[in-house]
């Protein structure tokens, strides 16, 4: 039985882009079942000081996450992220978490910078989880720390490792309105009129520290206060016209499921589920046509402002467990939203002209936070070539 704190955070995780409650529970169960060696230490690794991301191979450093419930540790691989070049460091005390400190590092992100928001900062073999965001050639890494000692340790490491100027700790009061000049990077867009970097860091901490409700509560309070100030919700929180599933009545197949990843707000993510034992690619045109038809009939007012529609066909028959989730996404394609809503355009021609992607999705189980595990690779690749200013994950 999970604690109330874990249940609360799971409700937030379930609202993350593309996350359905069923998959969220499955991922958390998977993480809880991973074996390792027991330890009462904090998150530790033998990796040298620096920035790291999850690795797909075992030829990297092993990061040990101690158990929160007396079970076995979770161990996953990380490798150094040399594609981020820090330039400026700001350390701020914040009342978002009593006694907490906010660290924001801005700099340059090269084209080789991984397209995942989850990032690990290693200082003296201790790992800290944060959020990374790249916009064009600029990039920002943000994280929340529990106390001044941790903040000073991370800041000292960054100053020495990357030859940064010492950063005095400044006071930052909670403010969901446009950010304080001391923290806001003028090169970063203020997408939803509050300090999104702070929100990202809070959410990363809430997802990782399951037994610490402070980050979750602070994130919820920040979003609530933002609403009171008249700030719009991020695109992922838009009330999409989805058909909800519930106990003994799962969401029906052959009906679209919509979501938006806040790092790609111009893209509507549309998952169209089919259920067939013998998958036949010759049926894909009619399935794409049905998915586009449902979007068209809903109309543009049922969605936030979008420029692109990404449709992925998933065969639920092939999704048996976490290991088969990724392969159940059989094909994907991206369409211009204006074409989908244009009654004069024929869907059959749009489908013929579209590039079919046979690897549209990745279930990245090694990501530090469950919300980062479901990656629409088709969108990441398309945004990298068609939207150079997109908020790459």
What is the per-residue pLDDT for 95? 73
Ranges of beta strands (E only) in the chain are: 44-45, 50-54, 61-65, 74-80, 84-94, 100-109, 118-123, 126-135, 138-145, 169-172, 256-259, 267-274, 308-315, 329-336, 362-363, 374-375, 391-392
pTM of the model: 0.52
Answer for the pair 77, 60: CB distance below 8 angstroms, yes or no. Answer: yes
Each residue's pLDDT tens digit in the chain (393 positions)?
333 333 332 223 233 333 333 333 233 333 333 323 333 446 888 889 999 887 766 568 888 777 655 566 677 788 888 888 888 888 888 777 777 888 888 888 877 777 667 788 999 989 888 888 776 677 888 888 888 889 889 999 999 999 888 766 665 544 433 333 333 333 333 333 335 667 777 777 777 766 667 777 777 777 777 667 666 677 777 888 888 665 556 778 999 999 998 778 889 999 999 999 999 999 999 999 999 999 999 999 899 889 999 999 999 999 988 788 899 999 999 999 999 999 999 999 999 999 999 999 998 766 655 556 788 999 989 988 775 444 433
Which residue in the block uniquely carries the two structure tokens 């467990």?
A: 321
CA distances from 286 to 157, 219, 271, 348 (A): 56, 42, 15, 9
Instruction: Give the number of C-alpha atoms closer than 13 A to the C-alpha of residue 132, restricted to the C-beta side.
Output: 31
Answer for the pair 108, 124: CB distance below 8 angstroms, yes or no. Answer: no
Answer left, alpha or beta for residue 54, where phi above 0 means left and psi between -120 and 50 means alpha. Answer: beta
How far is Cα 281 from Cα 313, in angstroms, rounded to an integer?
Answer: 10
């Amino acid at each position: 039985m999970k604690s109330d704190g874990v249940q609360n955070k799971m409700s937030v995780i379930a609202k993350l882009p593309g996350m359905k409650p069923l998959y969220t529970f499955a991922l958390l169960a998977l993480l809880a079942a991973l074996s390792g060696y027991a330890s009462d230490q904090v998150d530790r690794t033998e990796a040298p000081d620096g920035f790291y991301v999850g690795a797909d191979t075992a030829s990297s450093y092993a990061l040990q996450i101690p158990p929160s419930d007396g079970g076995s540790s979770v161990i996953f691989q990380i490798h150094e992220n040399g594609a981020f070049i820090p330039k400026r460091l700001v350390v701020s005390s914040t009342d978002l978490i009593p006694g907490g400190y906010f660290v924001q590092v801005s700099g340059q992100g090269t084209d080789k910078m991984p397209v995942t928001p989850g990032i690990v900062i290693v200082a003296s073999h201790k790992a800290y989880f944060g959020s990374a965001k790249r916009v064009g050639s600029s990039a920002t890494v943000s994280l929340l720390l529990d106390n001044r000692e941790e903040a000073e340790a991370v800041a000292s490491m960054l100053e020495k490792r990357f030859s940064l100027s010492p950063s005095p700790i400044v006071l930052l009061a909670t403010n969901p309105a446009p950010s304080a000049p001391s923290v806001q990077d003028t090169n970063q867009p203020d997408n939803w009129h509050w300090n999104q970097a702070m929100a990202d860091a809070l959410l990363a901490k809430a997802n990782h520290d399951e037994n610490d409700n402070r980050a979750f509560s602070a994130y919820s309070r920040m979003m609530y206060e933002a609403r009171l100030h008249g700030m719009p919700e991020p695109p992922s929180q838009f009330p999409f016209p989805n058909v909800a599933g519930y106990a003994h009545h799962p969401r029906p197949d052959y009906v679209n499921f919509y979501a938006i990843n806040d790092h790609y707000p111009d893209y509507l993510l549309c998952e169209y589920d089919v259920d067939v034992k013998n998958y036949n690619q010759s049926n894909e045109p009619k399935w794409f046509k049905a998915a586009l038809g449902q979007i068209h009939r809903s109309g543009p007012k049922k969605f936030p402002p979008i420029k692109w529609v990404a449709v992925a066909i998933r065969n639920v028959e092939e999704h048996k467990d976490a290991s088969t989730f990724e392969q159940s996404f059989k094909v994907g394609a991206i369409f211009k939203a204006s074409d989908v809503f244009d009654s004069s355009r024929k869907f059959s021609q749009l489908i013929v002209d579209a590039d079919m992607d046979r690897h549209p999705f990745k279930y990245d189980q090694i990501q530090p936070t469950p919300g980062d595990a479901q990656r629409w690779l088709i969108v990441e690749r398309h945004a990298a070539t068609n939207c150079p200013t997109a908020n790459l994950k």
